Amino acid sequence: VAHNVIDQLLIVQDRDRTLARLRREAQDVPARQKMIEAQADRERKELLVAQEQVKKKLSAAKQVELEVGAHQERIAKLRMQQTQVKTNEEYRALEKEIKTAQDEIRKLEDGELEVMEEIEALRQIIAGRESDLKKRESEIKVQLIDMHQRLAALQKEIEETQTQRAGLVKDVAPDWLGRYERVFQHNGEFGVVPVENGACGGCHMKLPAQVVHDAKKTGRMVLCNFCGAILFWKP
Ligand SMILES: [Zn+2]
């Protein structure tokens, strides 16, 4: 049990700092959860885009096959016509048409080959991303469970610290406690501070000599002229 009011307030201040830290940490948890989930969402979307690209390329390849088929039918018809022509001239004209259609087919098939290679490359990328995503998703599950537990632990710690604090402040003189609490609530870090090299240990402003002198005497409440914190002398 602390003997004087300064020692009592220092212990309260220690609990208040712990509470502030725990509350900040607890507040950060939902934001971190959201960040992790947003990252997974982005990865899922990227995967969908790649899958969409494969679909488009597959339908382009299908279209090419249809065109090749049409040319092949045309060649078959031209060959039939060749068996029925009467002159060499007509035969050569048909041969020329057949040659043109064959060139078309070759061009189309070259293009199709390229598309199929692109599809293969995309499929490999997709397979890699899918397995990455699977891993990430199970990691995320674990992380979220951890965070959930961390949050529960923080809340428990906050409650325990609050209970401790409530027990401590019962014994503190109300005027001292009131002053301390006002300052701490205002700056979130301190309400009772030592004099340090003639300056306030909280706001670090140089104190008047009289204030330093007063702070050396115990039993009197001496305040920083600048931040209002309760000052004490640490020999
Ligand atoms: Zn100050």
Condensed to tens digits (0 to 9), the pLDDT of residues 122-132 reads 999 999 999 99
CA of 77 relative to ligand 1 center, distance in Å? 101
Percent of the chain with pLDDT over 70: 99
The string over 190-214, giving b where at least 16 C-beta atoms fall within 10 Å of a residue's C-beta and e elsewhere, is bbbbebeeebbbbbeeebeeebbeb
pLDDT of residue 1: 46
> Stretch 145-174: mean pLDDT, rounded?
96
Q: How confident is the model at residue 3 (pLDDT cuts 50, 70, 90)?
A: low
CA of 230 relative to ligand 1 center, distance in Å? 8
Q: What is the pLDDT of residues 94-117, one digit of tens each?
A: 999 999 999 999 999 999 999 999
CA of 206 relative to ligand 1 center, distance in Å? 8
> Stretch 193-204: mean pLDDT, rounded?
97
Amino acid symbol at 144:
L
Q: What are the helix and strand counts (H, E) for the chain?
A: 4, 4
CA of 105 relative to ligand 1 center, distance in Å? 87
CA of 186 relative to ligand 1 center, distance in Å? 12
CA of 161 relative to ligand 1 center, distance in Å? 26
Q: Are 78 and 94 in contact (CB under 8 A)?
A: yes
With CA atoms as reference, report the closest residue to 30 among 200, 148, 183. Answer: 148
Percent of the chain with pLDDT over 90: 90
CA of 9 relative to ligand 1 center, distance in Å? 16
CA of 17 relative to ligand 1 center, distance in Å? 17
CA of 223 relative to ligand 1 center, distance in Å? 8
> Stretch 163-173: mean pLDDT, rounded?
96
Amino acid symbol at 130:
E
Amino acid symbol at 90:
E
> Stretch 202-210: mean pLDDT, rounded?
97
Amino acid symbol at 103:
D
User: Which runs of E-coded beta strand occur in 155-208?
Assistant: 192-196, 199-200
> Which string of DSSP letters, residue by residue, matches 104-126?
HHHHHHHHHHHHHHHHHHHHHHH
Q: How confident is the model at residue 217 (pLDDT cuts 50, 70, 90)?
A: confident
pLDDT of residue 154: 96
> Stretch 80-96: mean pLDDT, rounded?
95
The region, left, alpha or beta by phi > 0 then psi within -120 to 50, assigned to residue 222 is beta
CA of 192 relative to ligand 1 center, distance in Å? 9
CB-based contacts of 79, cutoff 8 Å, min separation 6: 98
Distance CA 166, CA 172 (A): 11
pLDDT of residue 232: 95
Q: Any long-range contacts for 130-137 (C-beta under 8 Å, 24+ apart)?
A: 130/47, 132/43, 133/40, 133/43, 133/44, 133/47, 136/39, 136/40, 136/43, 137/40
Residue 182 has pLDDT above 90, yes or no: yes
CA of 79 relative to ligand 1 center, distance in Å? 103
State the pTM of this model.
0.70
